[in-house]
Chain A
Amino acid sequence: MKFGVVVFPGSNCDSDAYHVIKDVIGVDCEYVWHETRDLSDFQALVLPGGFSYGDYLRCGALARFSPVMDSVYRFVDEGKLVIGICNGFQILLEAGLLPGAMLSNNVLEFRCQWVNLRVENTKTPFTCLYEPGEVIRVPIAHHEGNYYAEPEVLEELERTGRVVLRYVDASGNPTAEANPNGAAHNIAGIINEKGNVFGLMPHPERCSESILGSRDGRRVFLSMIKSLETGALLS
């Protein structure tokens, strides 16, 4: 099994994801330069955080046109796993692999802080090692994380269990105060219909070692590995 971490020129969380997968968990992992077209070596891809091409226009708007993204579409069609973290989530939205769009945080500022997340759906290849309704502590760091979608899209996401992570308070309630950016329905992470593309604004790779204050994020990667090993939850 091999993970690929896509490197856009302005990616800056690429080495963090690589570190967790390769050094902390111990699974084979390679960087994938954004001009690469052959992804046949990989079973899972990480689109990491950062500022892919500077993001002066709209986050991820240019990245969707990069050569690697052509191959990512095929990769997704083949049922392999793709996780987009932060800027990676924004790219997945721009690329149409997930529905909706990102607006600027309602506080109109960059926000770097710890948040509480409730795991809403554990029947996904990205969250199968969490308990249903479990509250986890994970950091965010973004300026555009205010998730937006048309009401009918939100309704469908909710109905089909595709809202995977939600911002909540310490007791697990999705309150307005617990929402750091104004995201619709306190949405922090969603999954595609097929269940193999996951986008989330929080950074699980930043909380996968106890020295960093929490290991709650590690199970995202472990869930992916387990799904790939067992074939469970894969379409």
Chain B
Amino acid sequence: MAEISQTAPWREMGLKDSEYELIKERLGREPNYTELGMFAVLWSEHCAYKHSKPLLKTLPTKGPAVLVGPGENAGVVDIGDNLACAFKIESHNHPSAVEPYQGAATGIGGIVRDILAMGARPVLLLDSLRFGPPEDPKTKFLFGGVVSGIAGYGNCLGIPTVGGEVFFAKPYAGNPLVNVLCGGIMKHEDLHKGGAYGVGNVVMVVGHSTGRDGIHGCTFASDVLDDDSESKRINVQVGDPFMEKLLIEACLEMMACGAVVGIQDMGAAGLTSSCAETAARAGTGLVIDIGKVPMREEGMNAYEVMLSESQERMLLIVSADKVDEVKRIGAKWGLHAAEIGRVTDSGNLEVLHNGVLEASIPVSLLAMGAPEYTPEAREPEYLRKTREFSGESVRAPEFSEMKGILLKLLASPNIASKEPVFRQYDYMVRTDTVEGPGRGAAVLRIKGTKKGLVFTTDCNGRLVYLNPKAGAAWAVTEAALNVAVTGAKPLAITNCLNFGSPENPEVYWQLKEAVQGMAEACKALETPVTGGNVSLYNESDGEAIYPTPIVGMLGLCEDIEKRITPGFKNAGDLVAVLGKVWGDARSLSGSEYLEVAHGMVAGDPREPALDLARGIIEVLTECAREGVLSSAQDLSEGGLLVALAESCIHGEEGARGCAMSPKALGCGGREDIRADAMLFGETNTAVVVSFAASNEEQVAHICRQNNVPFAVIGRVQESALAVDTCGGLRVLEVPTDEIAHAYSHGLEDSLRG
């Protein structure tokens, strides 16, 4: 194989020269072309986490409820009643950038199979999406394609899409983010893992036939996007949701009959990764003959079969005596269930093609032998400028301008209702969705119990850009408060770290800081990281995205009948802030207000007060238990006034308004307080709640016990949002209908504009 050294095909496959040398050295010979391809995909950043592994090790991953942490197909958390929840988030950014419909669709397919591989029935999806400015024609194309791809695939599966977020900002224009979270439920005894245990057990491929689609998809995912990327459309896989639906039902039946020893999705790097990873986990080897793999195209060689990323396929390790049972179930669902090999004790992945040896590689080298890099980290230049921000650079608006600003914020596509998106998703199928999209975290009942699962995804990339450590911690606390305002207890997170190229020292610094911020917040809130995904090289034309470490959080509601919702319930209820509203210039840092009203992305967001966040979570769960709150809503983009506006919009008839004064928050006579910062400044350690006046003392008491500041700022009223100054002067009064109109039409108007 002298030609391999001469033509250096590894470079085109995405391997560095040093990595090729390492392969040669460890293998003790030159790899052949097929073997080289297998190394290239498994040693890609996407599969091997070469640049992120040392950092990921610093995240907390253990906790009393964690049944399975990182390393398997998905994390699994105990939710009591002998039930467990498997959940994970994953990115499909690059495929979605060039072929948005299929990119998003197959992103769903992949994460659903990860959950299935744990033995759980997938029961919910959330999508965390980032696009460029809505008025950009390219955004319209990507946005339309991604949303309809999610709808087209997810709706057919019968798995409700219950939540997520959509955020628009310029840095995502050429490189949108499509992160999909899937959750599933199982009994403890149904837990499965991806290990090829038991020498002599049978290796089977179940599901779709294998074609030439998606070859080198994960290599493509590990490179920056450029003008040439459009030509990579051929690397994008094509989804068949009906086939996936059959695969889910068939695999659940196969697992239920006790036939399945190990199971793994054939996603990124297809047969290569699933074979190598299952064998590596079990410390065994595999021998497979790709001539036995059901194929949809003729004349495919070993290289193509091993690297194909054809969708809707699972690798099963089956007890030798249960093979016929698996084949019978496959036939029932009209699926291929083909025997392709056996588990061995060789420690090697041996690939035959109709009996001829095509590749033989130690599985440990393939699956775990990729080098780890700790590149140079350097604080980005831009931070010097963004940190220079001070209140003086922002003109304080007159009170007469506040109404216009509020309506503009509510209509801003980052705050406005995402109904034009989620009404395209079937969010009710399975009849478990108790609180669906559009009102904060999703709440799903668990039939046969009193419990509810609560899920949210969060991350404001603009804040992470301005202060990666604070911003990433902020994503965790925001997710936790989102969960806690329903009355649920945050249990664990899954994360998807979307960053630019780690080979750029400034980007690597962002990644490092963000992981540290996330680790600290997760430790403080006792929400371990049970798994996730890293997506690097998110750059287009040399510009990196906002660093975007998405947090997907699972919470547990002990009694779903006692859940708290965001809308006001009764006129006359008291409205209070729990936590800290700063009201100073620094709280404008990275705020939606600063960008929408002043065109600025600047400042230095505060690191969240983790003790306070923890206290607020305690207060909310206790208040839920006691049933003393009528509503709860956390402060995020748009600050206090937008949070109040949302509680009005979601309010019950006759309780769709609120009159408030920030007086009780301590604004009087303080020089650092500004009205705009009080109303629109952002903090992630505050929530607004409402309750009957008769419950005031109890709520105040629970807050005192947990050292959480408590301030009554107003009352629920019928149909308008009103603000009085500390001096008692009414400076703002907006009918809720007007507020709701801005909120519900904002996104469509922006996309039209």
**Interface residues in chain A, defined as those with a beta carbon under 8 Å from any beta carbon in chain B:** 9-13, 15-16, 19-20, 23, 49-51, 53-56, 109-113, 139, 141, 143, 203, 205-206, 209, 211-212
Contact = CB atoms under 8 A, between A and B. Distances in A.
Given A54-B156, A141-B155, A211-B445, A112 B431 contact: no
A203 B430 CA distance: 12
B245 interface: yes
Contact of A9 (B148, B152, B334): B334
Interface in B440-475: 445, 447
Contacts of A139: 428
Contacts of B334: 9
Given A54-B242, A212-B434, A12 B445 contact: no
A112 B428 contact: yes
A151 B423 CA distance: 31
A9 B246 contact: yes
Contacts of A211: 434, 445, 560-561
Nearest to A139: B428
Interface residues of B, number: 32
Contacts of B243: 54
B425 interface: yes
A205 B431 contact: yes
A61 to B, nearest CB: 13
Contacts of B151: 109-110
A203 B560 CA distance: 23
B424 interface: yes
Given A12-B158, A51-B156, A51-B245, A206 B428 contact: yes
A10 B245 contact: yes
Interface string B323-357: 00000000001100000000000000000000000
A contact patch SS:
mixed
Contacts of A111: 423-424
B49 interface: no
B423 A112 contact: yes
Nearest to A14: B158
A54 B246 CA distance: 10
Q: Which of B424, B427, B431 has the most CB of A within 10 A?
A: B431
B648 interface: no
B149 to A, nearest CB: 12
B526 interface: no
Contacts of A20: 431
Given A12-B429, A111-B424, A139-B428, 7 more contacts: A9-B242, A19-B431, A51-B242, A54-B241, A110-B148, A112-B422, A203-B428
B424 A112 contact: yes
Contacts of A10: 156, 242, 245-246
A111 B424 CA distance: 5
Contacts of B428: 112, 139, 141, 203, 206, 212
A112 B418 CA distance: 13
12 contacts: A9-B242, A10-B246, A16-B429, A49-B429, A54-B241, A110-B151, A110-B424, A110-B426, A141-B429, A209-B431, A211-B560, A212-B434
Contacts of B434: 211-212
Contacts of A212: 428, 431, 433-434
Nearest to B151: A110
B157 interface: yes
A50 B158 contact: yes
B430 A16 contact: yes
A1 B575 CA distance: 53
A106 B151 CA distance: 17
A23 B448 CA distance: 10
Interface in B142-172: 148, 151-152, 155-158
Given A206-B431, A211-B560, A19 B447 contact: yes
A10 B243 CA distance: 9
A9 B560 CA distance: 32
Given A109-B424, A112-B425, A53 B242 contact: yes
A203 B152 CA distance: 19
A79 B160 CA distance: 36
A139 B429 CA distance: 10
Contacts of A54: 156, 240-243
Nearest to A54: B242
Contacts of A11: 158
Contacts of B157: 12
B468 to A, nearest CB: 37
Contacts of B333: 9
Contacts of A112: 422-428
Contacts of A113: 423
B447 A110 contact: no
Nearest to B144: A109
Contacts of B155: 51, 110, 141, 143
Given A54-B156, A112-B425, A12 B245 contact: yes
Contacts of A49: 429
A209 B243 CA distance: 32
A55 B157 CA distance: 12
A56 B430 CA distance: 22
A149 to B, nearest CB: 26
B312 to A, nearest CB: 12
Nearest to B432: A212
Contacts of B158: 11-13, 50
A19 B445 CA distance: 14
Contacts of B424: 109-112
A117 B426 CA distance: 19
B557 to A, nearest CB: 12
A23 B431 CA distance: 13
Interface in B220-272: 240-243, 245-246, 249
